[in-house]
Structure 1
Amino acid sequence: MDCLISIPHDQRDDNIWINRWIRPSDDKDHLIEIKDSLNSVDELSFYTDGSVQNGIPSHLRQRLDDCLDYRSMVINQGAAFVEISSNLQFFTRIVNWPSSTRAELFAILLALLVCPRDCRVKIYTDSNCSISTITRFLRSRSKFCSRGFNNSLILIYIGILIRDRNLDLELIKVKAHAGDPWNELADELAKKGAVLSTYHQLTFNFGSQACRFSPHFENTLIEQKLRNFLSTMGTV
């Protein structure tokens, strides 16, 4: 897949994208440990999955026992990957703009974050929508702002990783709940991630000639198609 994104940075910092996009946490340290353990590998195969659940994280349940209306509104999202040759695993919770596709895309982004340079990467996912979205994005002309895409920042970061690390990415569709043990494991991990007390939230921290700003609403990055978001706000 061709991707024309190029961001100036220090090539000597092999963990630059984890350091730039993932906030300091135990999860960040775990990602770096996984990446370091895979640095000498030239071919990797991941199963990725996302989970979207109604409810609230376990650490908030007692605090919100009397808020029945609020409880019904909260949606938990989890993302996970497992690398099949090493059985290295990672799962986390994500926030904002809940959808199954967003959770799946985030899981793919996490897998790419731990890939070394010049690596051939196979990603197995049961999300056909994620595969088609990434494919359309990488073939689009505007790979920075991508105003025609939901989950734009995740897609931009996927594009940066492919370009910067010269990854040979192959996205492979697998059937959900068909007894594939690796896919079932990824599904289980994503569900665990959805109820964690900590979470990841991407930040927009670069600019280019094509994209000098990113719209926010109440300090939250708008990752929906902007026209659709404004139309929705106009009906509230």
Structure 2
Amino acid sequence: MILPNLQNNIILDLLDLSTSRNDLLRIQRTLAPFDNNNYHLFEFYTDGSLIDLNAEQCSISCAFAQISDLFEIPHVEFYSTIDKWPSAYRGELLVIILALSVVLPNSRIIIKTDSLNVITQYEKIKKSHFTQTSREYFKTNDNFLWAILCRIILSLNLHVKMFKVAAHSSDEDNNYIDSLAKNTHLDQNRYIIFRRDTVNMKILSCWNGILIENRLHSFIKTISNYKGLEKFINLNRNSKYHQLEVDWMSTFQCLNCDIVNNETSVSSSKIKAQKVHLLIEEIPTIEKMKKSFFDMYDE
């Protein structure tokens, strides 16, 4: 019989105290005695779920289950939630990490998931032998979770294969795990909290005390855009817009309609400036127009 060593336990190293962490430890102890001639083979169905995106009650949940009868390994299942950086992709990746954390070292694991994006990124990281440079880390969405997955695979010497299953198909096992994940949204007592020191990065980027887990460049760009919009709206001359339901996304698309993202054009910048002046009702005088359109106002 093989029992997990609590003094060097990957689950305790990764997670802060919670009901979900205790459940993972129980599953780990349940699977530990199954020594199949040093060939531990586990097969997990995994699924993630996202509801109410862009709403205050947005929720990410996930679930996994070991339901294969191979080697008489017991059926186990787990479900939980995680906060921040909402996406269905995040839930799919999280549950794979949690499934890998409960198996024995040197195990062979089959993951069945309906997320092709996770499989594609996994195969990419696998080619680099589960190592990431700082540049690669900060250019990856859910980078913190991917770094944790790499650590688990290397620490436990796991051999992982992922297979795509069709979502909402006739696969009863996949439909069961999909239902389990969706029902978890209502369970407020189940959540996952990772420790900050779980990855080997020397520097982790934060914003207002929140770990930035998406592409750093994209995040900084988004923050810069929102700060610029805030300053623009708060100008005294724009106070009239405070009471109006303005679609600012469409407004700025209109302002930038002929500007290419990777090029700088003097002509396009000039046209955009004129549009902005018209928007804020800062109409140029005739004397100003003469400087811009000399031929039109030539006396």
TM over 0.5: yes
* C-alpha distance after superposition, 1:99-131 (max 9, x if no partner): 111110001011001111111100000000011
**Greater radius of gyration (CA):** 2
Alpha-carbon shift at residue 161 of structure 1 (Å): 1.0
Residue 143 (str. 1) matches residue 132 (str. 2): yes
Match of 2:92 in 1: 104
Separation in structure 1 between the aligned mates of residue 5 and residue 132 of structure 2, nearest angstrom: 25
- 1:74 counterpart SS class: coil
CA gap of 1:107–1:135, structure 2 versus 1, over 3 A, is: same
Separation in structure 2 between the aligned mates of residue 188 and residue 131 of structure 1, nearest angstrom: 21
Match of 1:205 in 2: 197
User: Identity percentage over the alignment?
Assistant: 27
What amino acid does structure 2 have at the position aligned with 1:201?
I
Match of 2:143 in 1: 152
* C-alpha distance after superposition, 1:150-186 (max 9, x if no partner): 1111111111111111111000100111121111111
Alpha-carbon shift at residue 76 of structure 1 (Å): 0.4
Structure with a larger share of its residues in strand:
1
CA gap of 1:133–1:194, structure 2 versus 1, over 3 A, is: farther
Alpha-carbon shift at residue 203 of structure 1 (Å): 3.0
Alpha-carbon shift at residue 38 of structure 1 (Å): 1.0
Separation in structure 1 between the aligned mates of residue 67 and residue 198 of structure 2, nearest angstrom: 33
What amino acid does structure 2 have at the position aligned with 1:160?
R
Retained in 1: the 8 A contact 2:148–2:199? no
Separation in structure 1 between the aligned mates of residue 202 and residue 105 of structure 2, nearest angstrom: 28
- 1:72 counterpart SS class: coil
Count residues with an aligned counterpart.
Answer: 209
Match of 1:54 in 2: 52
Match of 2:211 in 1: 221
> If the length of structure 1 is used for normalisation, what is the TM-score?
0.82
Where do 1:1-236 residues align within 5 Å?
Answer: 13=6, 16-39=9-32, 40-41=34-35, 42-54=40-52, 72-85=55-68, 86-140=74-128, 143=132, 145=134, 146-198=137-189, 199-206=191-198, 208=200, 211-236=201-226
Structure with a larger share of its residues in helix:
2
Retained in 1: the 8 A contact 2:13–2:198? no
How large is the RMSD of aligned CA atoms in angstroms? 2.1
- 1:73 counterpart SS class: coil
4+ residue runs over 4 A deviation: 11-15
User: Structure 2: where are the runs of 5+ without partners?
Assistant: 69-73, 227-299
